Amino acid sequence: MLACEGVNAFYGPIHALKDVTFAVERGTIVAVLGANGAGKTTLMNTISGLVRPRSGAIHLDGRRIDRLAPERIVRLGVTQVPEGRQLFPDLTVAENLRMGAYLRRGAAVRQDLAAVLERFPALKDRTRQLAGTLSGGEQQMLAIGRALMARPRLLLLDEPSLGLSPILVRQLFRTLGELGREGISMVLAEQNAYLSLEVAQMGIVLETGRVALQGPSPELRQTDRVRQLYLGVRSGDVSPQGGGAPGGKGT
């Protein structure tokens, strides 16, 4: 459903995305792994239209979207849950959710609001509370709920587990799994490689803006690089060199 082809993005002289090519099949979750500064957020923002790629193309269901304004891309069904939640702190929970449905109108919005509150019961008693006063976990639920209010076909999640306790992280990934089974395609940027490769069918590894590896999650999990760098397996446990990169481009 989404295809990035040779995408290059710059911040002034900084080459933040280098020939990034990957695809998201309908109904699948693609994990984007990478260390700090690898370009995960830049990739998300480029898909969302906040960052304009200098070259390359992004297609959504065959339609080119990399020159569209952010609101047009949202309208086409791509919604982002940005890094660090980025809620509207002085709007209430209900107002934040309504803003998620900014481009929609009618009775369906009200139904979806009820459905989101059903999915995240912690928010239900807090609809009039200011978003800035929610706990970290509640804020993350609100951030995801707000994105769901747009009825996205493709959900972009930028490090949603950041700052959550282990229990909440597991709960979050359970929710993401549910959403996946409900048919929402996702791009999931994470540093938590273990859980994201669990929930995702495919993964790509970004290193300094370049796709270093990509492939189905089970295979990716077996590669040395992912094991060493992202799964916390020390190099003594696997052979440090070698190790094929299934479907990967290598570096």
Ligand X SMILES: Nc1ncnc2c1ncn2[C@@H]1O[C@H](COP(=O)(O)OP(=O)(O)OP(=O)(O)O)[C@@H](O)[C@H]1O
Nearest to 91 by CA among 102, 77, 104: 102
Nearer to ligand X, 116 or 205 (CB): 205
d(CA 99, CA 130) in angstroms, rounded, equals: 14
Interface contacts to ligand X, rule CB under 6 A: 11, 14, 16, 34, 36-42, 83
Among residues 38 and 144, whose Cβ is nearest to ligand X? Answer: 38
Which residue lies nearer to ligand X by CB, 34 or 137? 34
What's the distance, CA 166 to chain centroid?
A: 19
Q: In what order do the strands lie in the sheet with 29-34?
A: 63-64, 55-60, 2-11, 14-24, 210-216, 202-207, 29-34, 185-190, 154-158, 78-81
Name the phi and psi angles at 36, rounded to 5: -55, 130
Residue 144 binds which of Mg ion, ligand X, another protein, none (CB < 5-8 A, kind-dependent): none
Amino acid at 179: L
Nearer to ligand X, 47 or 116 (CB): 47
Binding footprint of Mg ion on the chain (CB under 5 A): 40-41, 83
Question: 14 touches which of another protein, Mg ion, ligand X, none (CB within 5 to 8 A by kind)?
Answer: ligand X
List residues near another protein by CB under 8 A.
Answer: 48, 50, 69-71, 74-75, 79-80, 82, 84-91, 95, 98-100, 102-103, 132, 134, 136, 139, 146, 150
